[in-house]
Amino acid sequence: MPEHYTRATESATRHCNRCGRPTQHAVSAGRIGRCLECGPPPGQLSKKQQCDRQRREREARNPKLF
Ligand SMILES: [Zn+2]
């Protein structure tokens, strides 16, 4: 079956140079866009960054009592 993209398609598998393997890529109006597995989109914190932030906020609320 030939592979083609419609406007309804939201992602497609393509080889990503950064990931070094086939990954899901965003598709917008039939055009292949950004790799979805190359980390969070701009402006969105990664899981580790979220953990670090939560830990810092918790420590700020509860000063260490040694
Ligand atoms: Zn990638």
CA dist., res. 33 & res. 27, Å (int):
5
What distance in angstroms lies between residue 57's CA and the mean position of ligand 1's atoms? 32
What distance in angstroms lies between residue 32's CA and the mean position of ligand 1's atoms? 13
Q: Name the pLDDT band for 6 (thresholds 50, 70, 90).
A: low
Determine the pLDDT at residue 36: 87
Determine the pLDDT at residue 13: 93
9 within 8 A of 29, measured Cβ to Cβ: no
What distance in angstroms lies between residue 20's CA and the mean position of ligand 1's atoms? 7
Mean local confidence (pLDDT), 29-37: 86
Of all residues in the chain, what percent carry a pLDDT higher than 90? Answer: 18
Q: pLDDT: is 39 or 53 the higher one?
A: 53
What distance in angstroms lies between residue 17's CA and the mean position of ligand 1's atoms? 6
